[in-house]
Structure 1
Amino acid sequence: MNRREQPQTAPCAFTAYDWQHGALSDSFSAWADDVSARDVQATHFGFVYQGSARLLHSGHSWTVYAGQYFSVPGRFTLCARAARGVIMRRAGWRGLFMIGGPVEHKGRLRYIDRCSDTTLIQPVRRGDPCLNLLYFPPGVHQTAHTHPSDRLGLVLSGRGTCIARNAGADVSIPLEAGMILCIHAYGRHHFATDRNDEMRVLAYHPDSDCGPTDDDHAMINRTIVDGVSARELSSIRTMGDATLEQT
């Protein structure tokens, strides 16, 4: 599910997947057994839904537990015979290695219609992919909306409903913990929860429109020379250094 330009509506907004070991699409997999990735030009985002697993990368080994997430550039192996989770693949992009979590219960940033969000893995640069936690409090009925790229998700806890426009008609899909889903690019949809239910969803975005750039990041902005930010001083800025490129 690579990003591409599409019209502002999609014939199918929502797809749910059975939990099975292996690929669900060209960039989305579920796992309940060992996994090996050999593509040195890709980065994988992963989440442990149940149990624990051993993550092997570049001669090192880590244990990742339920509620934790990771980002791994290049080759890796996940030893996961007593666990299960999901993996999202971003081809042709090299991210940072990271292990985080466990995820918090609620998001730290205000979203829409009383929902909240935490960006678990930030874009390394503006436009890069990111991983998010979405929190839906009880009694939410979101405004219908779309996204300009696919959203791959996993319901972490609770229950709710997705009202999605599939084949020209709105359909209501019950959601519960452990459900794997995709909201397709430009698919009109919204989420709802009953007044006694809340819901938490892991959401992967293959792209973004925020994050640092060479001209706007915390280090350059807050380096001050005689009262002036280095962002404004082109004479001392690092320019065109090929050694900064990631391979």
Structure 2
Amino acid sequence: MSESGESHAPVNAFSAYAWQHGALSDAFSAWTDDVSAGAPGTTHFGYVHDGAVRLESDGRAWTVHAGQYFCVPGRFALRARNSRGVLMEHGGWRGLFMIGGPVEHKGRLRYIDRCSDTTLIQPVRRGDPCLNLLYFPPGVVQTAHTHPSDRLGLVLSGHGTCIARNGDDDERIALEPGMIFCIHAEGRHYFSTDRGDELRVLAYHPDSDCGPTDDDHAMINRTIVDGVSARNLASIRTRDDATLERS
């Protein structure tokens, strides 16, 4: 019961999706066949789980193999070549085109409870979406936690368990390679692995609270005029006008 006296249904923390071609949720889809998607003002993040896919965009084409990921703004097509993978759509934002990978085995940044992560696709500006690798070593029991927005995920390898507050009760969900899932915003959950198992997960975040800004980025901070960073020299700073690229 809230302070206003209204009752609210419990938040379901975890949803799993079967492998099928097409939309899985509003922002999440999978492919097992050819895809034509995208529109001006949208950006898609993608990951190739099996096989290889031909990515076509803006009159050019690239072959993207299993274990690789990509970010493509606007319209694009995928020629599946007996592959399968996942797509995450972000509307009202234009990302930077990129193809990366293959994904490393472990993360490079410390996370929580001995886990680690790597930001595979960085926020272009602070607040932008990002794509991440999460690594869970053997014998981990995470601290229960929530996230302020959805986390769209794919189990890359290994085995583990998600203990998720679905409704009023905690549910134990076995995590297997190739499993597609969503941790819903504000859903209480944690991950665990047995002593002989490790777990690797691809996780898409639709937002962030880190990344560069006009007043804080590597180029402006490390441009020095007579010992003073250009960050602190308003007289020479580029003013905001129509020539700047905006996402």
TM-score by length of 1: 0.95
* 1:47 maps to amino acid: Y
TM-superposition CA deviations, 1:17-54 (whole Å, max 9, x none):
00111100111001111111141110000000000010
* 2:186 maps to amino acid: Y
Deviation at residue 166 of structure 1 after TM alignment: 0.4
The answer for the alignment partner of 2:121 in structure 1 is: 121
TM-superposition CA deviations, 1:171-206 (whole Å, max 9, x none):
100001000000000000000000000000000000
* 2:54 maps to amino acid: R
| Stretch deviating more after TM superposition (74-83 or 147-156) | 74-83
Deviation at residue 246 of structure 1 after TM alignment: 3.3
The answer for the alignment partner of 2:136 in structure 1 is: 136
Q: Contact 1:46–1:87 at 8 Å: present in 2 too?
A: yes
Q: Does 1:94 align with 2:94?
A: yes
* 1:218 maps to amino acid: A
CA distance in 1, matches of 2:182, 2:93: 21
Deviation at residue 11 of structure 1 after TM alignment: 1.5
Deviation at residue 118 of structure 1 after TM alignment: 0.1
Superposition RMSD in Å: 1.0
CA distance in 2, matches of 1:218, 1:185: 32
Q: How does 1:98-177 map to 2 (within 5 A)?
A: 98-177=98-177
Structure 1 unaligned spans of 5+: 1-8
The answer for the alignment partner of 2:78 in structure 1 is: 78
* 1:46 maps to amino acid: G
Q: Does 1:245 align with 2:245?
A: yes
CA distance in 1, matches of 2:178, 2:191: 16
Q: Contact 1:113–1:142 at 8 Å: present in 2 too?
A: yes
- Structure 1's 218 and 49: CA in aligned 2 closer, same or farther, altered over 3 A? same
The answer for the alignment partner of 1:63 in structure 2 is: 63
The answer for the alignment partner of 2:13 in structure 1 is: 13
Q: Does 1:220 align with 2:209?
A: no
Deviation at residue 241 of structure 1 after TM alignment: 1.8
CA distance in 2, matches of 1:95, 1:38: 12
CA distance in 2, matches of 1:178, 1:130: 20
Q: Contact 2:12–2:165 at 8 Å: present in 1 too?
A: yes
Aligned sequence identity (%): 77
The answer for the alignment partner of 1:22 in structure 2 is: 22
Match of 1:220, SS state, is helix
Deviation at residue 143 of structure 1 after TM alignment: 0.1
CA distance in 2, matches of 1:177, 1:163: 17
Segments of 4+ moved more than 4 angstroms: none
TM-score by length of 2: 0.95
CA distance in 2, matches of 1:151, 1:240: 33
CA distance in 2, matches of 1:83, 1:245: 35
CA distance in 1, matches of 2:243, 2:26: 32
Deviation at residue 141 of structure 1 after TM alignment: 0.1
Q: Contact 2:54–2:81 at 8 Å: present in 1 too?
A: no
CA distance in 2, matches of 1:239, 1:168: 52
Structure 2 unaligned spans of 5+: 1-8
Match of 1:243, SS state, is coil
* 1:169 maps to amino acid: D
The answer for the alignment partner of 1:33 in structure 2 is: 33
Deviation at residue 10 of structure 1 after TM alignment: 5.4
